[in-house]
Amino acid sequence: MPLSSPVMIDRHIASIYRPLAMLAGMQLDVFTPLKDGPLSCADIAVALSVRPDKLGPLLYALVNAELLTVDGDRFATTPESDEFLIRGRPRYCGGRHEALAHHWHWALQTAGSIRDGKPRMKLEYADQPRETLAAIYRGMHAASLPVGFRLAQRLAEANVTHLADIGGGSGGVAIGACLKVPGLRATIIDLPNIAPVAETFIAEAAVRDRVSTLATDVVAAPPACRFDAAVVKSVIEALSPDNVRALLRHVAQSMDPGGRIFIVGNILDDSRTSPPLNVGFNLVFLNIYEDGQAYTEGELREWLAEAGFGAIEIESGSMSGGVSIIAARKPPFS
């Protein structure tokens, strides 16, 4: 019997406008003027220096997206937007809009990349201008700091003294951990043209006495420093399987016996159909990386064991957006 209407197709078409409204709201910083309470569209427009007649449709779209409420002509934040999208709040993540804009633009090229057999928006970090890298990592920094906060307790409990932030970009993980763990030192290790990008973020956080940078391609060679813990966030996905193996092997070679490694990122379960965000994010990787992708828990477990790590634990989808953590340990007397 024929279906009466394309219900799922229509649902997908309609659903795209909510995230687009959220992105525009973050880009315009619509939520911060509402930090002290409800305002009219005209009041918000004055605060943002925009036209009320142009702003109004976005405000109602944000109500539909459940990020604002409206009572009469006055708009207010929801509990979630109040906590996470007002600039200056401790858990503000509105700065992620730069990264989101890049990711969604890249994902729109998927059909073309498949037809071409190569990524249409290929991202070669080693060749990017400093300004492009700074824009990319500003967006990623807002998502990296909470990872550092999240790992801080585990690092403190393990008496970690020196954390290596492998492929650290802005250094958000290292900076977040050092802000939470007194006395912890960290080294942000990344490619020669990327490592300097972290200096701005280190200065802003006032942790220059404990956080440094090291320019090294960890896929090519072990880092020239010793550490007792390493975090690898959003790096594995950019590499081919052989390069993942090389990176893990080189991290193990520079790690003290008994040290810990934490892989954080878009990791799939072994069915490759979950968590949903990670399945979707694979479309982004398809468009920007020649060989990288979201790998499965089983694949990473195997590669960690090959590199000499044991005591492997997986916290599947344990962070915001389905991001997973895989923790492992180098044997004490290796």
pTM: 0.83
Residue 117 lies in a domain: yes
Domain match, 273 and 193 both: yes
Mean model confidence pLDDT for the chain: 92
> Tens digit of pLDDT for each residue in 278-307?
999 999 999 999 999 999 999 999 999 999
Cα dihedral 30, 201, 245, 318 in deg (nearest 10): -40
The reply to whether omega before 275 is within 30° of 0 (cis) is yes
Whether the predicted pLDDT of 317 surpasses 70: no
Residue 1 lies in a domain: no
Burial of 156 (0-12, 13-18, 19+ CB in 10 A): middle
Which of 52, 72, 92 corresponds to the end of one domain? Answer: 92
Identify the bridge partners of residue 23 per DSSP, sorted by sequence position.
none
How far is residue 30's CA from residue 12's CA, in Å, rounded to a whole number? Answer: 26
Which of 92, 124, 158 corresponds to the end of one domain? Answer: 92
Residue 107 lies in a domain: yes
Domain match, 14 and 120 both: no
Query: What pLDDT was estimated at residue 130?
Result: 72
Domain match, 23 and 146 both: no
Q: What are the residue ranges of helices labelled H in the chain? A: 7-15, 17-28, 41-48, 52-64, 79-84, 97-107, 110-116, 130-157, 172-180, 198-205, 241-254, 276-288, 297-306
Task: Determine the residue type at 299.
Answer: E
> Tens digit of pLDDT for each residue in 145-204?
889 999 999 999 999 999 999 999 889 999 999 999 999 999 999 998 888 888 889 999
Query: What pLDDT was estimated at residue 322?
Result: 67
Residue 146 lies in a domain: yes
Query: What pLDDT was estimated at residue 309?
Result: 97
CB atoms within 10 A of CB 185: 17
Task: Report how far Cα 75 is from the mean position of its chain's Cα atoms.
Answer: 30
Residue 289 lies in a domain: yes
Range of the domain at 316: 99-329
Query: What pLDDT was estimated at residue 323?
Result: 81
Domain match, 20 and 153 both: no
Domain CATH code at residue 75: 1.10.10.10
Would you say 286 and 293 are in contact if contact means Cβ atoms under 8 Å apart? yes
Which tokens hold the place of 186?
């960290």
> Tens digit of pLDDT for each residue in 209-233?
999 999 999 999 999 999 999 999 9
Domain match, 59 and 111 both: no
Domain match, 149 and 50 both: no
Residue 334 binned pLDDT confidence (cut-offs 50, 70, 90): low
Which of 65, 92, 119 corresponds to the end of one domain? Answer: 92
Buried b (16+ CB within 10 A) or exposed e, 316-326: bbeeeebbbbb
Angle (CA) 271 273 279, round 5°: 130
Residue 2 lies in a domain: no
Task: Report how far Cα 63 is from the mean position of its chain's Cα atoms.
Answer: 26
Contacts of 241 by beta carbon, 8 Å cutoff, 6+ apart: 291, 295, 299, 303
Domain match, 112 and 87 both: no
Number of folded domains in the chain? 2
Higher per-residue pLDDT: 81 or 318: 81
Domain match, 230 and 123 both: yes
